Chain A
Amino acid sequence: MEPWCYLPNPWRQALIDLPHPLASTLEEIRFRVDRPVYLYGGSWNQPLAHPSVATRLSLGDIERIVEVLVEHSLYARVDELRHGYVTISGGHRVGIAGRAVIAGGKVETVRQITGLNMRVARQIKGVGETVLRQLWVREGAGSWLLAAPPRAGKTTLLRDLVRILADQGNRVVVIDERSEIAGVGASGISPFEMGCHTDVLDGWPKPAGIEIAIRTLGPDIVAVDELGGEEDLAAVAHARQAGARVIATVHARTPEDLLGRAAFSQAWRQGIFDAVVFLRRDPLVGTIDRIWTQASAPLPAQVLP
């Protein structure tokens, strides 16, 4: 289901009434206090214009939207809020901007929410085939890292790779910390085709999920989104040592961005990943910028720590 179906009116109806060319290319809907609602596509943006929608949002409007998105149960979503988002059914992620409440040096929760960024999750079948072909020729079966800036199609590509590889008979376990890859959420059913041989560990933190997957689900491949720090990489290394392949994503625009981080640089040198696929947003979301493999593209000397 499209993410706007979970919004209250008048925004829901206004988005349902969008012309098809806009609705089909819509990537983000941004709600900001005292601003119009803005729609963003790959190469366009425009305010949401509808007779029933006010030109500016109030704080009360945002509160109402959040209340509906969290099903009137903020207490059940505080862990997600601490990380600055909530994921709604269908795997659509809603980023949240607001005042951080700090307790004990950590973000306790977010109050006075002033902005929401609703990202439309889509399944685009076939996007993984090109990547798979290129990687297979160069590297064969291995562990791959998909690196790209935000909104460049990492998760969409990962989802499709999971589907293709699982349908080829590989036992794939998806560690879906934010319910964004498979979009399982509270319903317990993925709205996306994830392949015949895929299990989803929904809501599990990445290190714990990888550990559980290795111990109990016997995966050929572990798929994980948005690797962060050393703990995540240690879990990936553990999966590799246990004999599983890993396909993961990470935020990075260039090799220098990626390997400038000591943990990733070390992981590359240790051979945890056999290839890194860099994606970019232009001319189209999900365009392959370059593919690095251990054999064909050794690290540039200047990024080695």
Chain B
Amino acid sequence: MMVLKVVGSALEILASLGVSRMASHPYQLRVSTLEEWQRLLRHLAPLIEWRRLPLGKALQEASRGLPHLQGAMVELSRELEKPDTNFREAWDALLRRQAGVWEDDRAALTALGQVLGASEASFQRDHLIAARADLERLMGEARVRLAKDGRLFPVMISAAGVMVVIMAL
């Protein structure tokens, strides 16, 4: 009987840990996705301003080594090679598909998509700086949410798990 209780308690602890991680995952995903977007924009600036690469190629190159964004940027780059592609529509579709991009983040990135590629290099630099500032602010918010909600839920779930274990034993 005791063995069963111990095994049950161990399973309960594992389940609590799993559920805790699941509860905090969206917050962590948002933070890591925003970090990648920031890195993407940082890499994109010289590719546009100095190397003057076509936008599709610049996005593809800037996304190298960014696991959340690379695949989407390669796909977007391929889309842009087709003469019927509307960049803003393709950009918006990418944002809708992108996991870890929340509503506020999407609004900021949509605003960037409205102006990306469509002006002289110095204006592009200004737009990218503004977008990075927006993302920096959103990143601050995301980290606060991760620290509060993202950790509160796992703690509550873990506490509930511990209570179940105590009662079971």
Contacts and interface: CB of A to CB of B under 8 A. Distances in A.
Interface in B72-93: 80, 83-87
Contact of A75 (B80, B83, B87, B120): B120
Nearest to A69: B83
B135 interface: no
Contact of A9 (B53, B84, B118, B119): B84
A7 B82 CA distance: 10
B80 to A, nearest CB: 6
B120 A72 contact: no
A73 interface: yes
Interface of A is mostly: helix
Contacts of A75: 48-49, 52, 117, 119-121, 123-124
Contacts of B83: 5-9, 12, 68
A68 B89 CA distance: 13
Given A64-B86, A67-B87, A68-B83, A73 B117 contact: yes
B100 interface: no
Interface string A173-186: 00000000000001
Nearest to A4: B83
A131 to B, nearest CB: 37
User: What range describes how many residues of B lie at the interface?
Assistant: 20 to 34
Contacts, number: 51
Given A9-B84, A67-B87, A68-B83, A73 B55 contact: yes
A230 interface: no
B56 interface: yes
Contacts of A5: 83
A232 to B, nearest CB: 25
A76 interface: yes
B120 A74 contact: yes
A116 B117 CA distance: 20
A12 B85 CA distance: 13
Contacts of B140: none
Contacts of B123: 75
A266 interface: no
A71 interface: yes
B56 A74 contact: no
Contacts of B124: 75
Interface residues of A, number: 19
Interface string A68-91: 100111111010000000000000
Contacts of A72: 54-56, 80, 87, 117-118
A82 to B, nearest CB: 10
A58 interface: no
B84 A74 contact: no
23 contacts: A7-B83, A8-B84, A9-B83, A9-B84, A12-B83, A67-B87, A68-B83, A71-B54, A71-B56, A71-B80, A72-B56, A72-B87, A72-B117, A72-B118, A73-B53, A73-B55, A73-B117, A74-B118, A75-B48, A76-B53, A78-B121, A108-B120, A109-B120
Which 8 pairs show the lowest CB-CB distances between chains A and B?
A76-B52, A75-B121, A71-B54, A73-B55, A72-B87, A72-B117, A73-B54, A72-B55
Interface of B: 48-49, 52-56, 58, 80, 83-87, 117-121, 123-124
Given A67-B118, A76-B52, 12 more contacts: A9-B83, A9-B84, A12-B83, A67-B87, A72-B56, A72-B80, A73-B53, A74-B118, A74-B120, A75-B52, A76-B54, A78-B121
